[in-house]
Structure 1
Amino acid sequence: ARMAVQVAVLPSPRCLFDEPIQIRVTGLQPQQAVTLRARLLDESGELFQAHARYRAGSGGELDLARAPALGGSYSGVEPMGLLWSLRSEKPHKRLAKRNVLTPFCVDLEVYDGHGDMSRLLGKCTNERRFLGEGVKRISVREGRLKATLFLPPGSGPFPGLIDLYGSGGGLVEYRASLLASRGFVTLALAYMAFEDLPAMPAVLELSYFEAAVNFLRKQKQVKDTGIGVLGLSKGADLALSMATFLPGIKAAVSISGSGFNSFIPLQGDGFTIPPHPYDLGRIKYESGLADFRDILEDHRDPATWGCRIPLEKSSAKFLFLSGLDDTNWKSDLYCQDAVQRLQQHGREAEFYSYSGAGHLLEPPHFPLCQASLHKVLGMFVQWGGQWREHAKAQEDAWHRIQAFFWQHL
């Protein structure tokens, strides 16, 4: 009797979402043509799928780390291709995790032939978690603060991080929970469009972010040598402002950000930084999707310089990450400008830009989202990115972010 077809996920079918896996199939016929399919149902019931055509080796085995895909959602040797090429049935859906206490389950199936996927040969499930063994999730509603604290197991002390997402608002936890699973005490912080925080605040107060820093620094598991902050998009310029105006911040990471205050005035103690001037009339629409790249006034125009964040005054270390295919805004130019300002003041900054990467640089293996609904603006917005390049960029950026914080905290 011929061996049954088995699909194995190594080293284990259960892992953290940011961990790479090896997918192996055994028990096939020599040189057998097969199609592999991945399916993931998100928390709203939206189905994300990917498939790729392969040919088994002479021993009836197939290892995705070695065998090239012959077409489908991707081609070539891509060990994680079935994950990063997942896309939804409905267009413009972004895969995001709302409840980090439950995993995403990815069904991996092997079908006979390169045709219609009618004969299933074998399958298994890869359980991809967002919370490492022993990581605690603690909801924080202290004073005005709306946040979630993630504590790695043990007494530490661990480096402390504050994690900020963009102008879509809400309380986004999945990046923070993964960072805590990697040994950082991480506070995911909401600052707009959440509970009683307004969707479009007239002003953001620095004192709110200062309260978050103070809350994190007083946790006994947090190293007392200073904390780190990371932000995406609008969260990135807030991270830079925090590192500039608040004591106790030693390292800041800007992802797809800018060196100026964007969209909402930032009110400090006795000063306000206005938002960089913009004109929504300059939005371009391409098949119903908004392209914001031209809405901001030229950042090189001295008339806009009052909106700059004076990060050269900060003693923090900076890491800037951006995608060259960001179609949301010109993050690469804006980051270059910030880095040049730091260098003119004799300060170093790390700066990486990724060709083919879009605006939404997420933890690894999240599939590219080229456009989705911006909840606050109520319109579909372009983010940009090419599938394979974006996936590689996310993997590289994730390692750089962690290495940077370990080095400076």
Structure 2
Amino acid sequence: MLSLLHRTLSRAPRYSRAMTGVSLHVSPGCCLFDDPLRLQVRGLSPGQDVSLRTALSDEAGELFTSVGRYRADSSGELELSRSPALEGGSYTGVEPEGPLWSLEPRTPLRRLLKKDVQSPYQLCFSLYQAHDPPGALLAAAAQERRFMGEGVTRVPLREGRLRGSLFLPPGPGPFPGVIEVQGTGGGLLDYKASLLANRGFATLALAYYNYEDLPKGMKEFHLEYFEEAVNYMLQHPQVKGPGVGLLGHSKGGDLVLSMASFLKGIAATVVVNGSVANVVAVLHYKDITLLPIAADMKKIKQSQPGVFDISDVLCNPLEEANRKSLIPVGRADCKFLFIVAGDDRNWKSDFYAQTACQLLAEEGKEKPEVVLYPRAGHYIEPPHFPLCKASVHKLAGHVVTWGGETKAHALAQVDSWQRTQAFFHKHLNQRKVMESKL
């Protein structure tokens, strides 16, 4: 009974009513991080100007904030789903999730990440009188945004050489299985995997370097390690076969392309701003070696004082001198979805996706699905993560721009997240998985 009461209260709207009689409602009081935001204000004077401040502190104590400027309607009410934000704030127009995706860090060059998915983020909403400067506090409310929903389990993976986190949805299963591979940051980031598990996928966030007893650097990788992960998932009683899905971003994108090209048991692969060439580290598989694509550091450009653009640094993998880095995507027999940012300033994601299409066409394979978001940047995340405009690139050693326009990037994240889930649901229930040519 107490458990039922707790669940009921956690889903109820959270609100506060100040001495002024103004009430601020946020619903539900507890939800998943990628859920929509519903916020309403009651008790204002008709046409009253107010400022809505949203605040979130990350695990390191960094404060992210946004401000929306609003004017109450003739009934003295505001509702983010229909009330437009006015000029001068962090966002404008009717933007129900604007308070979330427009969050900016107090300290420059910080990116919002979630390292402990078992603890939620607490969002604080404060409503103030007037715009510039804001006046007295009228009302406040809080919302808890979780990465693991009710019934989702997280299993730390230490099976043989494998390291990572396996997330299982609630219920008896089995479930469609996905392996998620992150970029060059190293360690273990499993927030995407946890969010996918909430949507019905048994998801393995696979660490591959700089985590526990894994290699500390990015000198060379062996695809046999990733093959172990595929076999682990296919043999797991809670994973529905006969194939698994792959999700990779940035460096993780070229790794999942290599997995799809060489390994058995892959049914569907989603590449988010990935490279069609092997990047940074030598990749081995049996008697095959893919060299890292060459880079011309002279092509680094300064986009603004102290911030660099590295998008032209990598050489063309189609040129003869660089063919040994080109991933033989034409060997793959799975379905592909390429998520591409048109303003990716890390590298030429659009060119790489089109090259992958060409390589598959040359082998008579089905044309992949390619979705281009013209004004999105490199870090396409799940919904509501704010745009990271620039930060220190771990390998380049510079502050680099990642590209993207705030609102367009936010819309790309919502759409691509929905497409990714629909793609996996569609293709991970197939009855036949083609074997690789090895």
TM-score, normalization: structure 2?
Answer: 0.90
Larger mean CA deviation between 195-204 and 232-241 belongs to 195-204
What residue in structure 2 maps to residue 29 of structure 1? 45
The alignment covers a number of residue pairs equal to 408
Q: How do 1:260-279 residues align onto structure 2 when only pairs under 5 Å count?
A: 260-279=277-296
Any unmatched runs of 5+ in structure 2? 1-17, 429-438
Which letter maps to 2:380?
A: L
Matched residues in 1 for 2:19 and 2:141: separation? 20
Letter of the 2:57 counterpart: L
Kindly state the Cα deviation for residue 401 of structure 1 after the two structures are TM-superposed.
0.4
Aligned counterpart, 1:303 = 321
> Aligned equivalents of 1:407 and 1:179: distance in 2?
15
Identity of matched residues, %: 50
Alignment partner, residue 221 of structure 1: 238
User: What's the counterpart of residue 81 of structure 1?
Assistant: 98
Deviations 1:277-329 (A, max 9, x none): 11334333442233221211123423322221112111111000111111111
Counterpart pick for 2:177 among 156, 160, 168: 160
Secondary structure of the corresponding residue to residue 423 of structure 2: helix
Structure 1 residue 249 corresponds to structure 2 residue 266: yes
- On the 8 A contact 1:328/1:383 being kept in 2, the answer is yes
Q: Distance in 2 between matches of 1:320 and 1:31?
A: 46
- Show structure 1 runs of 5+ residues with no match: none
- Which segment is superposed worse, 1-10 or 47-56? 1-10
> What is the alpha-carbon distance in structure 1 between the residues aligned to residue 342 and residue 284 of structure 2?
31
Distance 2:263 2:400 in 1: 32
Q: Secondary structure at the match of 2:159?
A: coil
SS at match of 1:223: strand
The one-letter amino acid paired with 1:20 is P
Q: CA deviation at 1:378?
A: 4.4
- Secondary structure of 1:159's counterpart equals strand
Report the Cα offset of residue 348 of structure 1.
1.7
1:319 to 321, 333, 337: 337
Cα distance in 2 for residues equivalent to 1:164 and 1:365: 20
1:382 corresponds, among 373, 379, 401, to: 401
Q: Any idea what SS the aligned residue of 1:82 has?
A: helix
CA distance in 2, matches of 1:2, 1:208: 61
Runs ≥4 residues deviating over 6 A? none
Per the alignment, residue 389 of structure 2 pairs with 370
One-letter amino acid of the counterpart of residue 24, structure 1: Q
Residue by residue over 1:104-133, the C-alpha shift from the partner in whole angstroms, topping out at 9 and shown as x without a partner, is 111011100112223110011111100011
| Structure-1 separation of matches of 2:41 and 2:311 | 45
Give the Å deviation of 1:169.
1.2
Matched, 1:293 2:311: yes
Q: Does 1:355 align with 2:371?
A: no
1:395 is the counterpart of 2:414: yes
Deviations 1:82-102 (A, max 9, x none): 100000111110000010001
* 1:214-245 Cα shifts (integer Å, max 9, x gaps): 11122111002210010000000111111111
CA-based RMSD of the aligned residues comes to: 1.6
Contact 2:38 / 2:80 at 8 angstroms: preserved in 1?
Answer: yes
* 1:171 partner amino acid: L
On the 8 A contact 2:218/2:280 being kept in 1, the answer is no
SS in structure 2 opposite 1:338? helix
Partner of 1:91: 108
Counterpart of 2:426 in structure 1: which amino acid? Q
1:324 touches 1:353 (CA, 8 Å); kept in 2? Answer: yes
The amino acid of 2:357's aligned partner reads V
Aligned equivalents of 1:376 and 1:219: distance in 2?
A: 36
